[in-house]
């Protein structure tokens, strides 16, 4: 028996998520229900980009930070993302907002609402339509560390070539993006 799809009653936001500073660009195009919470959008970004959700994160929308409030740091003024719906803070097409993952490495993502669409009853949301390039490995030092990492693994004469390859599990293709696997991962989000 095939899994039953549920049709969202809200509009669908088509988002382009781009890792800022990446050259050539690393990005994903996803479609999500506009009434999805920012918490669920965080999960979507993690799975679509290929991150492991091991670090703190926050959204910046209209100058307000949303994420997981930390009671020990009251001065940070982070509003909870858990119950904030995307369409309540993101007005629609052509609107840009930001997502920061890993405060140490500072993986900054620009999110652009490309289109607002009616829901398709044949599609299970969220879904990834397209993407380019592999997500950098976690804890490689941000966009600058990633450039150094790529230089090391691509040059067998680099002094850190072997240790970086071992650290990343033996191989890393910066051009690799698997759309089918990404959508398989996104099916975890309910």
Please check whether residue 175 is in contact with residue 133, taking contact to mean a CB–CB distance below 8 angstroms: yes
Q: Are strands 57-61 and 64-67 parallel, antiparallel or unpaired?
A: antiparallel
Domain 12-134+176-186 has CATH 3.40.50.300: no
Beta bridge partners of residue 37, listed in sequence order = 85
pLDDT at residue 78 in the model: 93
Task: Identify the CA nearest to 108 among candidates 51, 176, 186.
Answer: 51
pLDDT score recorded for residue 2: 47
Residue whose tokens read 């910066």: 174
pLDDT computed for residue 75 by the predictor: 59
pLDDT, residue 70, reads: 76
Q: What is the pLDDT of residue 4?
A: 43
Angle at 161 between CA 158 and CA 164, to 5 degrees: 140
| CATH 3.10.290.30 domain locations along the chain | 12-134+176-186
Nearest residue to 15 via CA among 34, 30, 35, 25: 30
pLDDT of the chain, 190 residues: tens digit per residue: 444 454 567 899 999 999 999 999 999 999 999 999 999 999 999 999 999 999 999 999 999 999 998 776 655 689 999 999 999 999 999 999 999 999 999 999 999 999 999 999 999 999 999 999 999 999 999 999 999 999 999 999 999 999 999 999 999 999 999 999 999 999 999 8
Torsion-angle region of 60 (φ positive above 0: left; ψ -120 to 50: alpha; else: beta) = beta
Cβ-contact 31, 13 below 8 angstroms: yes
């Amino acid at each position: 028996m095939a899994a039953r799809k549920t049709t969202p009653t809200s509009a669908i936001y088509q988002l382009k998520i781009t890792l800022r500073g990446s050259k050539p660009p690393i990005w994903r195009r996803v479609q999500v229900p506009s009434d999805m919470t920012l918490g669920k959008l965080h999960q979507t970004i993690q799975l679509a980009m290929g991150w492991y959700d091991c670090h703190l994160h926050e959204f910046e929308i209209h100058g307000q930070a949303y994420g997981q409030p930390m009671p020990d740091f009251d001065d940070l003024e982070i509003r909870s993302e858990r119950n904030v719906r995307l369409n309540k803070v993101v007005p629609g097409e052509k609107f840009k907002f930001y997502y920061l993952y890993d405060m140490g490495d500072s993986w900054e993502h620009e999110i652009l609402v490309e289109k607002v669409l009616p829901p398709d009853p044949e599609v299970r949301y969220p879904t990834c339509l397209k993407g380019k390039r592999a997500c950098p490995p976690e804890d490689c030092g941000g966009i600058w560390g990633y450039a150094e990492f790529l230089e090391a693994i691509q040059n067998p004469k680099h002094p850190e070539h072997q240790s970086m390859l071992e650290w990343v599990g033996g191989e890393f293709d910066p051009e690799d993006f698997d759309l089918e696997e990404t959508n398989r991962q996104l099916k975890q989000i309910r």
